[in-house]
């Protein structure tokens, strides 16, 4: 008998794979909750964030801010950067919090400037009065507007009458202008009137949820968006791709709008049932299957479904609002949606030759540097009357040592001249200013990647990637390598060779 399998894309070789940080067995998951914006619905970033930026700038201009000549530049910012509200900078930190790249206003800072400014301090996201982590694509418009306003502030174009005379006050003013754009409703009204201009359709996404529902999973929609916006956008994105005249509401056992995340996971709010197509609501104390509600809490969801903690998987795009808070407060399992992974995956593949050449040059420098240091140690020992017994200094007098060291310095300098621009260019296929999303420098992970690994059990580029896996999939995390693993492997190889040479069994 011949068996034909639909093989899911491997996390190692597909940009549409689902990547696992902590082992997750979908068979043990009874309910799957979804965020909506940038999760079930993916917006065209240039279009959506561009309009958010436009409304923000209009509001700033009405307050007297100089915005003439400014335009939205989505390449100025990537997710995972951190705003330094004290210095008016945008920084990229590694997993430890060390700043690797920085920009003041819209001007990238040199390596020396970064070292002088941040060499003795770490990014600490707990200090919210100073650091603002760009968790989501919704942060792009705000960050672009802020960095451009920093330029105008430095030029002296913003008077103290408009906002407090510091970078922190400037950030607050920009944030208020963007918040006003969302609250006044003009932005969302425009998007609702022409969703096709802002939403990127994904025909596979509703089918992925249909698989999960038919496998017995209870599906939940938990969004901060209001009823009218949610209904309009979900109808546009889902209904045309569902079979048999199904509507988007038919997929979900529970829909919660205006959820007020992250407070939804932290505390309880009054629960209301939406009872009319116009969005009228009444107080509610008991939920029913297929109901549409406003407010409530995660604890209420657990109680109503009679399932708890790690029986629920929550899927969202916001590391803090969606992923970390549902895990920390409710112990829900978590999945992060990060669309940029697809572009980064492609950029990494096309950067393989560049990175291989760079690593080879760095290895050459390490060999030359080690040889130089051995000669230096030999000379140091001789100067103090000790035997200069180092591997590289055998049968060399002082003059030979000095001349050899000078030659090695020249070699290292030439290697540095090749390495430095290549390091600067590493990741430019993803973003010319900031490099790769998940990496900080050649060797280390970015602060964003550290947050993803800490709080997201699995992560992927889009919800529809679940379609390539069964609803019963067992996601297993990869072996985590440690600094001494390569040494252990090397020793095992040596020991194995030694055993082979003696003929032992």
Peptide bond into 262 cis (omega under 30): yes
Q: Domain for residue 282, yes or no?
A: yes
Predicted local distance difference test score (pLDDT) of residue 489:
59
Which residues lie below 8 Å from residue 377, measured CB to CB, with a gap of 6+? 388, 390, 393
Average confidence (pLDDT) over 460-485: 91
Closest CA to 436 of 316, 362, 343, 357: 343
Give the DSSP per-residue string, 439-499. EETTTEEBHHHHHHHHH-SEEES-GGGGGGS-TT-EE-PPP---TTHHHHHHHHHHHHHHH
The confidence band for 503, taking pLDDT boundaries of 50, 70 and 90, is low
131: three-class secondary structure by DSSP:
strand
Looking at the structure, tell me whether residues 215 and 300 fall in a common domain.
Answer: yes
Do the annotations mark residue 37 as ligand-binding? yes
Q: Is residue 442 part of a domain?
A: no
The pLDDT value recorded for residue 392 is 67
Beta-sheet pairing, 31-34 with 312-316:
parallel
- Verify that 153 and 95 share a domain, yes or no: yes
- The verdict on 189 and 228 lying in the same domain is no
**Nearest to 440, CA basis, from 454, 423, 460:** 423
CA atoms within a 13 Å half-sphere pointing along the CA-CB vector of 41? 27
Q: Is 317 annotated as a binding residue?
A: yes
In tens, the pLDDT along 266-277 reads 988 889 999 877
Question: Which CATH number does the domain housing residue 330 bear?
Answer: 3.40.50.1000
Q: Is residue 398 part of a domain?
A: yes
473 is a domain residue: no
Nearest alpha-carbon partner for 477 in 18, 13, 9, 5: 18
Q: Is residue 470 part of a domain?
A: no
Strands 218-222 and 254-257 turn out to be parallel
- What is the model's pLDDT at position 498? 56
Q: Give the pLDDT score at 294.
A: 93
- Residues 297, 271, single domain; the answer is yes
Question: How much is the pTM?
Answer: 0.89
Q: What percentage of the chain has pLDDT greater than the value 70?
A: 92
| Domain span holding position 141 | 45-193
Amino acid 481: pLDDT: 81
288 and 165 share a domain?
no
Is residue 356 domain-resident? yes
Average pLDDT over residues 346-375: 94
How many structural domains is the chain composed of?
Answer: 3
- The residue-averaged pLDDT of 195-201 equals 96
Query: Do 165 and 210 sit in the same domain of this protein?
Result: no
| Average pLDDT score over the chain | 90
Percent of residues, the chain, with pLDDT higher than 90? 73
Burial (Cβ within 10 Å: 0-12, 13-18, ≥19) of residue 391: exposed
For residue 119, give both structure tokens.
Answer: 């060499």
- Per-residue pLDDT of 418-465, as tens digits, reads 999 999 999 999 999 999 999 998 889 999 999 999 999 999 999 999
- On whether the CB atoms of residues 221 and 252 are closer than 8 A, the answer is yes
* Tens of pLDDT, residues 231-257: 999 999 999 999 998 999 999 999 999
Is the distance from CB of 52 to CB of 144 less than 8 angstroms? no
Same domain, residue pair 286 and 369:
no
With respect to residue 54, please indicate whether it lies within any of the assigned structural domains.
yes
The set of catalytic residues is: 35, 37
pLDDT at 186 over 90: no
Instruction: Please give the pLDDT value at position 2.
Output: 46
Is residue 308 within 8 A of residue 320, CB to CB? The reply is: no
Buried b / exposed e along 399-409 (16+ C-beta atoms within 10 A): eebeebbeebe
Annotate 308-372 with DSSP letters as a single string: -GGGEEEEES-IIIIIIHHHHHH--EEEEE-THHHHHHHHHHHTHHHHHHHHHHHHHHHHHHHHH
| Cβ pair 212, 471 in contact under 8 A | yes
Q: Is 291's pLDDT higher than 50?
A: yes
Domain boundary pick from 425, 457, 484: 425
Q: Say if residue 159 is in the same domain as residue 221.
A: no
CA distance 225 to 292: 13
Q: Are residues 204 and 308 in the same domain?
A: yes
Least confident of 39-53, 427-441, 462-476, 489-503: 489-503
**184 and 50 housed in the same domain:** yes
Q: Which residue has the higher pLDDT, 14 or 342?
A: 342
- Label residue 1 by pLDDT band (50, 70, 90): very low
**Rounded-to-integer distance, Cα 450 and Cα 400, Å:** 48
Are 360 and 271 contained in the same domain? no
Of the three residues 193, 218, 241, the one that is the final residue of a domain is 193
Task: Please tell me whether 151 is known to bind a ligand.
Answer: no
Positions of E strands within 182-316? 199-200, 218-222, 254-257, 271-274, 281-283, 291-295, 312-316
Answer yes or no: is pLDDT of 316 > 90.
Answer: yes
378, 420: one domain: yes
pLDDT tens digits for 79-136?
A: 999 999 999 999 999 999 999 999 999 999 999 999 999 999 999 999 999 999 999 9
Residue 495, pLDDT score: 64
Average pLDDT over residues 326-335: 92
Q: Once rounded to an integer, what is the mean pLDDT over residues 198-208?
A: 96
285 pLDDT tier (thresholds 50, 70, 90): confident
Residues 61-76 have pLDDT tens digits of 999 999 999 999 999 9
Of 425, 455, 487, which residue constitutes the final position of a domain? 425
299 part of a folded domain:
yes
Residue 147 CB partners (closer than 8 Å, separation 6+): 76, 77, 90, 103, 105, 106
Rounded average pLDDT over 198-205: 96
Instruction: Tell me how far apart the 2 most distant CA atoms of the chain are, in Å.
Output: 94
* pLDDT higher than 60, residue 354: yes
């Amino acid at each position: 008998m011949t068996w034909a399998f639909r093989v899911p894309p491997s996390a190692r070789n597909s940009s549409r794979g689902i990547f696992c940080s902590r082992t997750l067995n979908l068979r043990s998951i009874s309910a799957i909750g979804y965020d909506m914006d940038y999760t079930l619905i993916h917006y065209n970033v240039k279009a959506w964030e561009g309009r958010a930026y436009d409304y923000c700038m209009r509001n700033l201009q009405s307050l007297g801010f100089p915005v003439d000549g400014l335009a939205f530049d989505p390449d100025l910012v990537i997710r995972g950067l951190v705003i330094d509200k004290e210095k008016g900078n945008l920084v990229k930190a590694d997993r430890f919090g060390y700043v690797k790249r920085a920009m003041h206003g819209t001007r990238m800072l040199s390596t020396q400037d970064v070292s002088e400014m941040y060499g003795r301090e770490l990014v600490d996201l707990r200090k919210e009065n100073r650091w603002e982590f760009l968790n989501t694509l919704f942060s792009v418009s705000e960050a672009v507007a802020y960095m451009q306003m920093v330029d105008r502030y430095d030029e002296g174009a913003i008077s103290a009458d408009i906002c407090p005379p510091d970078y922190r006050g400037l950030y607050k003013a920009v944030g208020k202008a963007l918040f006003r754009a969302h609250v006044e409703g003009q932005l969302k009204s425009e998007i609702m009137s022409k969703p096709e201009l802002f939403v990127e359709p994904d025909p596979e996404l509703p089918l992925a949820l249909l698989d999960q529902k038919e496998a017995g999973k209870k599906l939940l929609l938990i969004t901060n968006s209001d009823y009218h916006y949610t209904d309009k956008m979900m109808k546009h994105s889902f209904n045309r791709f569902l079979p048999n005249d199904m509507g988007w509401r038919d997929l979900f056992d529970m829909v919660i709008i205006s959820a007020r995340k992250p407070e939804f996971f932290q505390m309880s709010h009054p629960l209301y049932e939406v009872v009319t197509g116009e969005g009228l609501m009444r107080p509610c104390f008991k939920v029913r299957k297929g109901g549409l509600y406003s407010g409530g809490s995660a604890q209420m969801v657990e109680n109503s479904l009679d399932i708890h903690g790690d029986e629920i998987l929550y899927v969202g795009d916001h590391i803090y609002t969606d992923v970390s808070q549902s895990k920390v407060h409710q112990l829900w399992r978590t999945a992060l949606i990060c669309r940029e992974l697809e572009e980064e995956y492609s950029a990494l593949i096309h950067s393989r030759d560049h990175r291989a050449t760079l690593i080879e040059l760095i290895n050459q420098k390490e060999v030359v540097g080690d040889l130089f240091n051995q000669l230096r140690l030999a000379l140091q020992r001789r100067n103090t009357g000790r035997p200069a017994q180092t591997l590289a200094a055998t049968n060399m007098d002082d003059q030979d040592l000095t001349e050899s060291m000078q030659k090695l310095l020249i070699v290292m300098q030439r290697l540095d001249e090749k390495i430095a621009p290549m390091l600067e260019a590493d990741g430019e296929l993803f973003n010319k200013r900031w490099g790769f999303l998940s990496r900080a420098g050649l060797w280390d992970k970015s602060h964003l990647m550290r947050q993803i690994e800490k709080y997201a059990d699995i992560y992927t580029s889009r919800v529809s990637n679940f379609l390539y896996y069964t609803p019963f999939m067992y996601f297993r995390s990869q072996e985590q390598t440690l600094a001494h693993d390569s040494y252990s492997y090397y020793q095992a190889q040596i020991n194995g060779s030694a055993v082979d040479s003696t003929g032992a069994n």
